[in-house]
Amino acid sequence: MRVTIKGQVTIPQEIREKLGISPAVEIDFVEENDRIYLVKKTGEPQKTHKFRKLRGIANIKMTTDEIMALTRGDK
């Protein structure tokens, strides 16, 4: 495995799956006895944006003016 100029490496898929590492999961590097270990962070769960799961599900095509008229109560 090669380190990029930016200090990045690709974690092999089998390791990501085994550790449950997916995008946005936080990891730590732990140094112990002249070895470095990659570990999945534990503790307080990462906060996610409360509207993230709703992103992209709107299916009504309205203009900004139409939406503003609805929110203002314009007729």
Q: pLDDT tens digit string along 11-65?
A: 999 988 988 888 888 888 899 999 999 888 876 555 666 777 777 777 778 888 8
Q: Three-class SS of residue 15? A: helix
Q: Would residue 34 count as lying in a domain?
A: yes
Q: Would residue 8 count as lying in a domain?
A: no
Residue 27's DSSP bridge partners are 40
What confidence score (pLDDT) does residue 44 get?
59
What confidence score (pLDDT) does residue 43 get?
64
Q: Which amino acid is at 68?
A: M
For residue 68 the two structure tokens come to: 């503003």
Instruction: Quote the domain boundaries for residue 20.
Output: 13-72
Phi-psi region at 59: left, alpha or beta (left = phi > 0; alpha = psi -120 to 50)? alpha
Contacts of 54 (CB under 8 A, 6+ apart): none
Number of domains in the chain: 1
Cα 8 to its chain centre, rounded Å, is 17
Q: Would residue 22 count as lying in a domain?
A: yes
